[in-house]
Amino acid sequence: MPTDQHPPLDGLAQLQAMLASGRRPPIGETMNFDLVEIERGRAVFEGTPDRSVYNPIGSVHGGYAATLLDSACGIAVHSHLDAGQGYTTLELKVAYHRGLSDRSGRVRAAGRVVSIGRRVAFAEATLHDGEGRLCASATSTLLVFAMPD
């Protein structure tokens, strides 16, 4: 998340500012989900799947769950970054436990940092439906790097 703040904000401060402003990144607009909670090492997203994210067989495409899980893992890591650092997902492993549909209600993806070093971070996330049932889970490996000036 680019910032023109002086001094530059660390990752947690960037995310807190975004949450307070009500802004969301374009992927949140496209897939209709929001960051609803942030603290150092933990991020929660919520969204309501509808028919706009259905696949040809009539259920929510697995990419919807994967996107929320990837976002939860990534933003949990983002909350640990120093000013001037960035990250990218190197690997995301998703397990699908229960299908989603437009009857799933508001879904909740909660991610947390498992460990973070100078160059690599590990995170995990779960996705629950509106009734609290586990629908998907993920583990993620992320690269941490210095952002170009």
Each residue's pLDDT tens digit in the chain (149 positions)? 445 555 789 999 999 999 999 998 889 999 999 999 999 999 999 999 999 999 999 999 999 999 999 999 999 999 999 999 999 999 999 999 999 999 999 999 999 999 999 999 999 999 999 999 999 999 999 999 999 98
**Distance between CA 122 and CA 64 in Å, rounded?**
21
Which H helix or E strand runs over 136?
strand 134-146
**Distance between CA 35 and CA 60 in Å, rounded?**
20
The residues facing 93 across adjacent strands are 139
Angle between helices 62-78 and 11-21 (to 10 degrees): 120
Q: Does the pTM exceed 0.75?
A: yes
What helix, strand, coil percent values describe the chain, rounded to 5? 25, 40, 35
